[in-house]
Amino acid sequence: MSAGDSVTMGERLGRIWPSLVALLGTVGVVLVLLFVFGDNTGDTPDDDLGDIVVGGGDDTSTDGAEEGEGGPTDQPTDTPNDGGDEGDEDAGDDTSEEPSTEVTTAPPELRSPVGIANQTSVADLELRARERLEAGGWEVAATSGFNGNVPETTVYYPPGMEESARALSRQFPEISRVEPTFEGINQSRLVIILVDDYADVDG
């Protein structure tokens, strides 16, 4: 190989080298972008949880105003009667007029599917509640945990399903609170949120 040929090859390499460096830099940037903004399919929510609790809702915003107007957590305003004959007569009347404890089974047309969410720390409480409801003829579509501030065990109903919610509450008196649904839970069916008062009954 002549000296002239060697110089020519060196010049060619000198011209090609910047292009190779630029190409390698471009490939490196593409790899970094793929790593950072790549496939994100692993972040989908759990199906059962999403079926009941859409956004980890907090019941404080809806129930707080209701409780301030005389909700279930308000302190009673009645004062007990002082002693005397009148009090004795009232006591006698109370014993003769005890409320009926008979459970009213909801008619089949009102037994719509429900979801059950467990706000307590009691493991599997929602599963035991599911067994109770199913034994009573209700379909439980989904169960889940729940992180919120619901004050007592409540059945929430979407528009048009209040009658069904009240029928459920009559059949299961331990679910005594009936309220309209709120943002953050399933908006298409009844949703029962279990609180510590239900755990006391279940235990």
Secondary structure (3-state) at 126: helix
Model confidence over 130-182: pLDDT tens digits? 999 999 999 999 999 999 999 999 999 999 999 999 999 999 999 999 999 99
Q: Hey, what CATH topology would domain 55-64+106-203 get?
A: Alpha-Beta Plaits (3.30.70)
* Contact of 151 with 63, CB cutoff 8 Å: yes
The larger pLDDT score, comparing residue 36 to residue 145, is at 145
State the pLDDT confidence band at 203, using cuts at 50, 70 and 90.
low
Residues 11-30, mean pLDDT to the nearest whole number:
73
What's the CA gap between 197 and 176, in Å, rounded?
Answer: 10
What's the CA gap between 203 and 200, in Å, rounded?
Answer: 5
The helix or strand, by DSSP H or E, that contains position 76, with its residue range, turns out to be none
pTM score, whole prediction: 0.54
**DSSP assignment letter at 192:** E
**pLDDT at residue 202, rounded to an integer:** 72
**Distance (Å) of CA 8 to CA 15, 17, 20, 171:** 11, 14, 19, 96
Widest pairwise Cα distance in the chain: 133
